[in-house]
Structure 1
Amino acid sequence: MLEFAKSEPFTLGVEVELQIVDRETHELSPKAPQLLHRWSGPATVQPEIFQSMIELSTGVCRDAAHAEADLRATAERLLPIAKGLGVRFIATGTHPTARYTERKLFPADRYHGLIARNQWIARRLQIFGLHVHIGMENPEVAIAIQNELLHDLALLLAVSTSSPFWEGDPTGLASSRVTVFEALPTGGSPQLVHDWNEFCELVETLTKAEAITSLKDLWWDIRPSPRYGTIEIRICDGLATLRETADIVALAQALAKRAGARVAAGQGRTFPPMWRVRENKWRASRHGMDAELVIVNDGTHAPARKYLARTLDELVADGHLDGTSRHTAHLRGIAEGAPTSSERQRAVYAATNSLSEVARSVAEEFEEDVLSRGASL
């Protein structure tokens, strides 16, 4: 049976995948090896599958504010290095014009193996996400909370949507990124399991079948991470700014705390039917915060913004979310109509008819947010 590491319940670890772009053209630039060579800080900057991306990660954090401060400390040290190499960063789910055929693979055995097995499907992985690890008391609680959070994943996706363009095409989707993951044989919505033993049996079977080589090959929207003693929420698009990243992290942590309270009280909800999980994911991907999310198994649905507002009210009332925090204020702003990144990008494109301007705008959003320590936006 898989060993599940000890962790403090509901502590956080956050991973942010960044695009590396040329400072002048704002096209993806394969400068990860040079950036990593010049980086002399802690192991909070890591390579990813392509040389035009890197990942920033935090240590173990108490809350969203702590995670944001950790990410900012890394980003502030990284920006001057990037500037010296003639590049900057974009943090959204896709680049508006980049073509996957032009990407250079980072030289690592895992990435070569991934391409060898999945071919064209894996070569298209020029996508960028936010991953939120949440500490769990034990593996049984982890599975129970993961199952409870299946009801909430579409809302997290809708709030985070930031990938409306793909290879120069206005896709009509708020998140095109998640559709790329759906093509992976072990990607997308998780396999439903009832307990830790069933999960371990599934992993053993998939390994024996050579469907996976490690748990990293489970590209699920949410999955247990035994190495860290966490569950990992992976459905979210990358957010344009670290401030917005922290807002989503605060929401994810609050939803996990609510799920934990329900599980502890024996009030956990039953599995939502898979049609509802997939339909809501599709609606969030297609429409973002304009989606009508199915909230009851009989087909009852509600506008995502109203559903977010109601969810925030419940989380605050139950003590799982600080009603006075700026994260909550920003989330309430979205519920009341403030634009997500996908909506802002579409507005720039509508005003300029230029995807290069879209790329420039999101690069500036990220850089200005880091330099102003979150005071902008």
Structure 2
Amino acid sequence: MRSATPSTLGVEEEFVLLDADTGLPAPRIGAVRAAARHGPVLGGDEVDNELLQALVEVATPVCTGLDEVTGQLFRLRQALTEAASACGCRLAASGAAPLAARVEVPVTGGRRYREMRADAGQLVGEQLIAGMHVHVGVPDRGAAAAALGQLRPWLPVLIALGANSPYWQGGDTGYASWRTVVFGRWPVSGPPPFTADAAGYDRRVRALLATGVIPDRHQLYWHARLSEDYPTLEVRAPDVQLDLDDAVTLAGVVRALVATGLRRARGGARPLDPPPGVLDAASWHAARHGLTGTLVDPRRGAPVPAPEVVAALLRHLTPALDELGDAERVTAGVRRILDAGTGAARQRAAFAAAGADGLLDLIAPLPQPPH
């Protein structure tokens, strides 16, 4: 039965701008944003810059269902592809820039990003990575913290399902999600710590800020976190997705994870809290292998064939998926990823078949002419 008040959600997608001729990162965010603003489809506040000038981000409005998410992401992707093309760029739906930059890509103008460059050095220069962030509406900050505690053991499975960044600096990294590895080098990153409630979460954050190592809460780069700007729980584990269907599938998985976490917390269910280091190891393993081989089963802390762990995730989410009316769509989408392969697997297949040109055609297709 469909819920009368399904949780709201919104999706942010980051993309890499590549030069249309060379396939190298193109620092043209200013021109792309200007082109997008002058088009009839995108609003002025829907396209944003990121840390480096070869990255761009778009965000959907608040949505109430996956059909709405689908329509919004289609509109944003299509319009941004056309704006990028007008500036001599290809919009790459890959978690990392696959070809080597010949020159350093500058940071986007703004004091905060300039200070990050001065503070973090080469790490900032290597942030040519793109993720997908899903915000799910929650009743309050306390509920968000409780849901986060419930869902955190499943985040490595999301990394595996969403892995879409095998290539970096002109070569195959051997990883399914190299973005996860790059992002994991920030001082506050990776799996979120376990906290029992919002007070515990905020104490942890205050202690981190007190070190002076990070300047603000926006540099809490955990795979999931309480949003500081919206009444949402934000899940940041997946790479940006190759195609719309996979993006919508993962958005549905994330919404169901949050809904399940909220329900379990209300019912007093004891959350899984793996020993220190286990979630880090599970996340690294998921980034390394994606869905090939094994994943660490969050219920047992042991390696299990990846399809079995994904099936366990779907069983865990079934009541929430049924209530939200998403069961058929999300289950079919997850099966498609299992059958067709993650974005990383499809990138490798495209490169094996047609080299760099085939890879670029897959991750950064050119705009389609109007019919």
Asked if 2 retains the 8 angstrom alpha-carbon contact of 1:143 and 1:224, the reply is yes
For residue 329 of structure 1, what is the aligned residue in structure 2?
332
How far apart are the structure 1 equivalents of 2:203 and 2:293?
A: 36
Amino acid at match of 1:193: T
34, 48, 51: which one aligns with 1:49? 51
1:58, distance to aligned residue in structure 2 (A):
1.0
1:109, distance to aligned residue in structure 2 (A):
1.1
How far apart are the structure 2 equivalents of 1:108 and 1:230?
A: 26
**Is it true that 1:118 corresponds to 2:120 in the alignment?**
yes
How far apart are the structure 2 equivalents of 1:130 and 1:249?
A: 9
Amino acid at match of 1:12: L
CA distance 1:99–1:195, change in 2 (3 Å): same
How far apart are the structure 2 equivalents of 1:100 and 1:131?
A: 29
For residue 67 of structure 1, what is the aligned residue in structure 2?
69
How far apart are the structure 1 equivalents of 2:364 and 2:370?
A: 12
CA distance 1:191–1:314, change in 2 (3 Å): closer
Task: Please give the per-residue CA displacement for 1:189-243, whole angstroms capped at 9, x wherever unaligned.
Answer: 2233222112222222332321222211111111111320111111111101222
Amino acid at match of 2:192: P
**Is it true that 1:20 corresponds to 2:17 in the alignment?**
yes
Task: Please give the per-residue CA displacement for 1:269-294, whole angstroms capped at 9, x wherever unaligned.
Answer: 23222332112111111110114222
For residue 145 of structure 1, what is the aligned residue in structure 2?
147
For residue 358 of structure 2, what is the aligned residue in structure 1?
357
1:46, distance to aligned residue in structure 2 (A):
0.3
TM-score by length of 2: 0.90
Task: Please give the per-residue CA displacement for 1:250-283, whole angstroms capped at 9, x wherever unaligned.
Answer: 1111111111111111114232223321121111
Q: SS at 2:340's partner residue?
A: coil
Task: Please give the per-residue CA displacement for 1:98-139, whole angstroms capped at 9, x wherever unaligned.
Answer: 338531211111111111111112221111000111111111
CA distance 1:59–1:189, change in 2 (3 Å): same
Asked if 2 retains the 8 angstrom alpha-carbon contact of 1:181 and 1:187, the reply is yes
Q: SS at 2:91's partner residue?
A: strand
CA distance 1:97–1:208, change in 2 (3 Å): same
RMSD after superposition: 2.3
Asked if 1 retains the 8 angstrom alpha-carbon contact of 2:145 and 2:198, the reply is yes
Asked if 2 retains the 8 angstrom alpha-carbon contact of 1:259 and 1:268, the reply is no
Asked if 1 retains the 8 angstrom alpha-carbon contact of 2:177 and 2:288, the reply is yes
CA distance 1:12–1:250, change in 2 (3 Å): same
How far apart are the structure 2 equivalents of 1:137 and 1:285?
A: 32
Asked if 1 retains the 8 angstrom alpha-carbon contact of 2:8 and 2:137, the reply is yes
For residue 207 of structure 1, what is the aligned residue in structure 2?
209
How far apart are the structure 2 equivalents of 1:198 and 1:164?
A: 36
Q: SS at 2:290's partner residue?
A: helix
Deviates most, 187-196 or 138-147: 187-196
Q: SS at 1:96's partner residue?
A: coil
Deviates most, 88-97 or 323-332: 323-332
Query: How many positions carry a matched residue from both structures?
Result: 361
For residue 4 of structure 1, what is the aligned residue in structure 2?
none
For residue 40 of structure 2, what is the aligned residue in structure 1?
none
1:26, distance to aligned residue in structure 2 (A):
2.3
For residue 27 of structure 2, what is the aligned residue in structure 1?
30
For residue 271 of structure 2, what is the aligned residue in structure 1?
269
226, 235, 238: which one aligns with 1:236? 238
For residue 97 of structure 1, what is the aligned residue in structure 2?
99
1:298, distance to aligned residue in structure 2 (A):
5.1
How far apart are the structure 2 equivalents of 1:76 and 1:124?
A: 27
Asked if 2 retains the 8 angstrom alpha-carbon contact of 1:100 and 1:125, the reply is no
TM-score by length of 1: 0.88
Amino acid at match of 2:88: G
Asked if 1 retains the 8 angstrom alpha-carbon contact of 2:163 and 2:342, the reply is yes
